[in-house]
Structure 1
């Protein structure tokens, strides 16, 4: 699991095609701080479909930065 407090723009050389899967979120606390936790789940073609694949916890600052990036770029 990773806690993300900020984002930086990356310059990716390859653009891989992604498969679709389900995602979920919850609000979690740790050391008196609240985080938005995002989980992704194995897609239907994985060995264990539906199993948690990635987990990210975003701090309040990271959520605010992500919202601003979405407003600016989408």
Structure 2
């Protein structure tokens, strides 16, 4: 599980990349101490012992959401 903070989110260049297998995912939003959070949970493949168990969780707050929107618009040339 990880909370991604906007100040610690930077682009790096990699020599080797690969496309991962598709995974089921869900999202939820919640408030904690007056701040709203957005959480994405991914689930394992059907051949896992417990495929319904969450594999990874990523949380972002509003600051990170705004940064991520800007990055995605830039990288995918979205206006």
- Superposition TM-score, scaled by structure 2 size: 0.79
Q: Which segments of 5 or more consecutive residues in structure 2 lack a partner in the other structure?
A: none
> In structure 2, the residue corresponding to 1:68 is in which secondary structure?
helix
Alignment equivalent of 1:66, drawn from 46, 65, 68: 68
Q: Which residue of 2 aligns with 1:39?
A: 41
* 1:39-58 → structure 2 map (5 Å cutoff): 39-58=41-60
Partners of 2:35 and 2:51 in 1: CA distance? 32
Runs of at least 5 residues in structure 1 that lack an aligned partner in the other structure: none
C-alpha separation between the residues in 1 aligned to 2:45 and 2:12? Answer: 25
Larger radius of gyration: 2
The structure, 1 or 2, with the larger RCO (C-alpha pairs under 8 Å, 6+ apart) is 1
Moved more, 17-26 or 43-52: 43-52
Show CA shifts across 1:6-62 (max 9, x none).
Answer: 121122232134111111111022222111111111122433323210011101011
Aligned pairs, number: 74
Scaled by the length of structure 1, what TM-score is found?
Answer: 0.83
